[in-house]
Amino acid sequence: MTAPGGVIRARDARAVRGAAGATVRTLFDPGAAGPGLGRRLVDLPGRTDFAGSAGPSGELWFVIGGSGELHVTGEPGLGLRPDLGLWLPPDADYLVCADGQGDLRLDMVALPAIGPSGQPGDAPLAPDQRAPLTRDLGDCEVETTGDRQFRVLFGPGLGCATATQFVGEIPPGRAPDHSHPYDELVLVLEGEGIVHMGGAGHALSSGTCAHLPPGLPHCLENTGSTTMRVLGVFHPADSPAAKLGPAD
């Protein structure tokens, strides 16, 4: 489990296997840094189930690979497929069922509650946010900052006022160091590189999670020959392009 401002590879995280066959790895525990984001990777072999309840402030999920179905109490079933983002309402009871087409891998990020002041606190739901929401990555607008592209799945005006979920593409090379006004968890989906943070460099590869606290100077460098693909979730919600400065 990564510490605040740290990095962890999924294969190094403790794997907890449930009775129904799913394996859960906790990559970031919000208790390590006070109220904040929490990240788990859940792997379901074909034809296995995983049951649970969303956190008290809701969760943002992303289907990394495989297919299946999500059942939330009182709601119609939802198909799961790669590159699908999901928002689950607070305390929703769910059952995930993997089909027989291979392993299903889900990224699950528990959200902190953000009050009107921007600090952790109560965040009442809008009436239309009582059911799960889904969004296909391919349907999201491509946005550009510098030589990097990103697509926002959820955020302000897109079904989630508390946090932002996006997929970014980083070409080979390194951008200037910068910092953000928000707290961010980044998961590498594809590619390899180095995250420069806190005066040190940490290797990145598929399944590596990095925690980037607000104000921490950092840079994601793509050291490979192909595009690096990353999944980011951050709060308070904002644009992935928001920066405090080139080297703040």
Domain limits of the chain? 7-117, 136-235
The Cα-based distances of 232 to 102, 122, 187 in angstroms read: 25, 23, 6
What is the rounded CA–CA span in Å between residue 201 and residue 195? 6
Quick check: 151 pLDDT over 70? yes
Q: What's the topology of domain 7-117?
A: Jelly Rolls (2.60.120)
What is the rounded CA–CA span in Å between residue 23 and residue 10? 12
* pLDDT per position as a tens digit, 50-104: 999 999 899 999 999 999 999 999 999 999 999 999 999 999 999 999 998 889 9
* pLDDT per position as a tens digit, 160-204: 988 999 999 999 999 889 899 999 999 999 999 999 998 899 999
pTM for the model: 0.91
- Residue 175 near residue 147 (C-beta atoms within 8 A): yes
pLDDT for the residue 198: 82
What is the rounded CA–CA span in Å between residue 193 and residue 191? 7
Q: What is the dihedral of CA 231, 179, 175, 239, to 10 degrees?
A: 50
Residue 154's SS3 state is strand
Amino acid at site 238: D
Q: What six digits make up the tokens of 180? A: 């953000």
What is the rounded CA–CA span in Å between residue 1 and residue 14? 8
Beta-carbon contacts of 93 under 8 Å, excluding residues fewer than 6 positions away, are 51, 52, 53, 72, 73
How many CB atoms neighbour CB 194 within 10 A?
Answer: 16
Among 45, 154, 48, 52, residue whose Cα is nearest residue 105: 45
Quick check: 121 pLDDT over 50? no
How many CB atoms neighbour CB 245 within 10 A?
Answer: 11
What is the CATH number that goes with domain 136-235?
A: 2.60.120.10
Amino acid at site 183: D
pLDDT for the residue 19: 84
The residue ranking higher by pLDDT, 134 or 29, is 134
Same fold across 7-117 and 136-235: yes
Quick check: 116 pLDDT over 90? no
30-34 mean pLDDT: 59
DSSP structure class, residue 128: G
